[in-house]
Structure 1
Amino acid sequence: MTVFDLAERRGWAGKAGVFAGSFGKLCGYAVGPLLDAAGVGGGVRVLDVGTGGGAAARAAWARGAGVVAVDAESSMVERASRAVPEADVRLGTLPELPFEDGEFDAVVANFVVNHVGQPRRALAELRRVARPGGRVAVTIWTAPPAAGQALLGRAVQAAGATRPDHLPALDPADDFPRTEQGFAGLLTEAGLTNVNCRTLAWNHRTTPEEWWGGAIGGVGTIGQIISSQPPELISAIAEQFAVLSKEFAADDGTLVLPHTALLAHGLA
């Protein structure tokens, strides 16, 4: 694994519960479009890579698919196993999955490619385990981010906090443009054909407490950045978050956070 991968493994260790109660709800929006793009329905054997709490696996099973799911984090595997007892849920880490070539009719990965150190190798692995002509569908966040997704980062910047040294960025040689064209090109480089990519846009409704809870709980890169700061800087970030959150506050006090993501799919 790369240094980036190792940092991701450390950062996600034991985070299943706090993820489910915060940012996991956000990621659930893309599940339906993702499964549609992969052609998941009755009788389809599907692999859900990076299943997290099992949202995509559960939705695939509800459609009548035969579901296998993997995640690199044991707490996620435990949670997904409880959420979808009908699925075969096990540990599995990109870019080397524990399956033979062409085992699945469809392969999906919901917001997973942004958490691997070698995105091209990861996508080639998703293609490998799909049968010839099978569908592979993946999502990733756009860059630059939508206004709602940028909220916590703006609070960090306003407080004068910086990214800690123990959180490496993706190697520039492995990075790619987080645009429709850039993401589609990445899938094509991985050997997928008939590639299409489109932008998903939605408003995520949450509460200030829930959104801050995911961050201070260390979920994702932004959560790791915030939770790694000294106490006085965490307090300053929290103050800036409270101020900036008012831009997105609805009349009932909830936050309405605009988000955008890329959904790309192709044939193995």
Structure 2
Amino acid sequence: MTTTAFDAYERRTWAGRAEAYAGSFARLCAHPVPQLLDAAAVGDGTRLLDVGTGTGTVAAAACERGAEVTAVDAEPSMLALAAQAAPAAGVLPATLPELPFEDGTFDAVVGNFVLNHVGRPRQALTELRRVLRPGGRLALTIWAVPAPPGQALLGRAVEAAGLTRPAHLPPLATEDDFTRTPDGLTALLTAAGLHDATCTTLAWDHRATPDEWWSGPEAGVAFIGQLLLAQTPETRAEVRRHFDTLAQPFLAPDGLLTLPHAALLTTAHR
């Protein structure tokens, strides 16, 4: 397997950052988990693969449903938290687009926002199809584009400060990218050999304190965090000032931000 520049950047981005993610964006990403598991028809006895398990939220919820869960991630610090969150699951290191499983091993495969973090999405989907049994179901989430206002808050603060993408944070290669819309996502699944792909949009308001929402980027979590770490302390402080200003319309009387978010939930079968 040839690792893309985007894959290498993702490995660097998430190295050792599980705790920072758990304290910032993990609760946001947990919101679609019940719908994700429902879409994959996960229940008692389902042989499930949770790919890109992160801190193990999906794996833990699937175990509570009685599923036989295998959870994989590329980042050791994530695996350590996942093993604590889902002690009944088999938690293993693995990196898309190559998984250490035989063809047709699983009844269902789920990935919560994992497709946002792979350098070759189509090849990743082909591999997920391979490990599904015939008739098995795949369910995935990705962030919707364009992002709702609350979802775009941190990005708007970065733009207001005039930051640009540095060379060491490469985007997904043009030939590997896809349109982050329902039609674009279902077309990608179809191209990977999956059948009857459908997609729905999930919308919700995420609530967090301003400091909690800032803590992830401040610790280098995700692209926005890596972009901040590449700046001088003075520039980071400027971004925070813009963030505080732009956050004002989202502040409720209780001091929490109310941030509209949207994700795409897609399902298909082998």
Specify if TM > 0.5: yes
CA RMSD between the two structures: 0.6
Name the counterpart of 2:243: 241
In structure 2, the residue corresponding to 1:96 is in which secondary structure? Answer: coil
Listed as ranges, the matches of 1:1-268 within 5 Å are 1-268=3-270
Shift of 1:36: 0.4
Matches of 2:252 and 2:230 in 1, distance apart? 30
Query: Aligned-pair distance for 1:27?
Result: 0.3
Counterpart residue identity of residue 117, structure 2: H
How much has 1:161 moved relative to structure 2?
1.4
TM-score (normalizing by structure 1): 0.99
- SS of the equivalent of 2:258 reads strand
- The range that moved more, 223-232 or 185-194, is 223-232
Give the SS at the match of 1:201: strand
TM-score (norm 2): 0.98
4+ runs deviating over 6 angstroms = none
Counterpart Cα distance in 1 of 2:102 and 2:61: 24
1:169-204 Cα shifts (integer Å, max 9, x gaps): 001111111001110111111111011101010000
1:146 deviation in Å? Answer: 1.3
SS in 2 for 1:229: coil
- Provide structure 1 residue ranges, at least 5 long, that are not aligned to the other structure: none
AA in 2 matched with 1:223:
G
Shift of 1:163: 1.5
- Residue 52 of structure 1 and its aligned partner are, at CA, apart by 0.3
Take 1:201 and 1:251, find their aligned partners in 2: how far apart are those partners?
23
- Taking only the aligned residue pairs, the percentage that are identical comes to 59
Range with greater deviation from structure 2 (48-57 or 227-236)? 227-236
Worse-superposed segment, 215-224 or 202-211 = 215-224
Q: 1:217 is aligned with what amino acid?
A: A
Q: Count residues with an aligned counterpart.
A: 268
Shift of 1:253: 0.8
In structure 2, runs of 5+ residues without a counterpart are: none
Query: How far apart are the structure 1 equivalents of 2:25 and 2:240?
Result: 17
